[in-house]
Amino acid sequence: MCKMCEQKPVYVTQNQRKLCGSCFVKYVEKKVLKTIRVHKLINNDDAVVCAVSGGKDSLTCLYIVDKFFRKRGVEVKALLINEGIKGYRNETLQDAEKFCRAHDISLRVVEVQKEFGRTLDAYLKKTKLMPCTACGIFRRYLINKYAREMGATKLATGHNLDDEAQSLLMNQFKGNMQLSAKLGPMTGVLMHEQFIRRIKPLYFITEKEVAIYSFIRRLPITYIECPYYRNSLRNTVSEHLNALEHKYAGTKNGLINAFLDVLPELRKKYQHKQIGTCLSCQEPAAKELCKACELLEKALK
């Protein structure tokens, strides 16, 4: 702690430690690097593709991974999925392009319309499916497919501690613990030769900490929210979690730490499930058709 921490703190940690801007940046980076080291997320011979949206979480993840690992010989690239969400994705796409140009990072942009024949907005007009469900399925499908094409050995996402706590509770509410078995700093239970292992370097960083970090680092971010988010289950869960955190500090950390204690046993329970190949697109699938092909087939009916 330096003198500025007492005089001009920008953040107070859970244990009441005051941090100035400079010390806060070091605090976040040290925490991320510890997560990567302890959970063995990145090796020096890895090729890492960061899935970016142009938002604060994904660009913070890309910034830290590139800053500390490119100099170690790790290849770092970026991949953005343009779903075609009007009034939102074009703005964040411009931020991602600006960031990658400034840091000399290769960025690949994949258009949902070119891949599936229509934008997410157009697809949602033909189905009653919740927007976040359809978006999640399409995005997961495309980032795995194109990260593999880009030669990735690891696929980094910007999921933070808040995201993980929300996902855990959502799976509990839906009674789907098999999905929770796929969570954790490095995701996955079942292996498939076409799966790229996903890592979450920001796993123990809260959303608030990411926002402050991205602001101090002056990352080129337009702080806007996806128009579909407001009416989602995730948003409802987020609001309740934030209320609990405000009243009982440490709620989110406690939830995640308790989950990590039981995660090894949870993965053992589901590791014998079979995973095959989609009959339509030859991507990994738990059934005859992968989730993305199932959705597209329903839309055509």
pLDDT tens across 1-13, in order?
688 888 889 999 9
Rounded Cα gap, residues 271 and 27, in angstroms: 36
Nearest to 49 by CA among 189, 215, 199: 199
Does 278 fall in a domain?
no
What pLDDT score was predicted for residue 301?
Answer: 56
Residues in the chain predicted with pLDDT less than 50, given as ranges, are none
Does 225 fall in a domain?
yes
Segments of 3-54 assigned E as strands: 11-12, 18-19, 47-52
3-state secondary structure of 153: coil
Total domains in the fold of the chain: 1
Does 279 fall in a domain?
no
Does 183 fall in a domain?
yes
- Find the domain containing 268 and state its range: 22-273
What pLDDT score was predicted for residue 265?
Answer: 93
Task: Identify the CATH number of the domain in which residue 131 sits.
Answer: 3.40.50.620
Does 39 fall in a domain?
yes
Does 215 fall in a domain?
yes
Characterise 289 by phi-psi region: left (phi > 0), alpha (psi -120 to 50), beta (else).
beta
What pLDDT score was predicted for residue 15?
Answer: 85
What pLDDT score was predicted for residue 1?
Answer: 65
The residues with which 19 forms a beta bridge, in sequence order, are 11
Does 54 fall in a domain?
yes
What pLDDT score was predicted for residue 275?
Answer: 81
3-state secondary structure of 295: helix
Q: Where are the alpha helices (DSSP H) in 39-88?
A: 56-69
Does 255 fall in a domain?
yes
pLDDT tens for 204-252 read 999 999 999 999 999 999 888 899 898 899 999 999 999 999 999 999 9
Do residues 252 and 162 touch, judged by C-beta distance below 8 A? yes
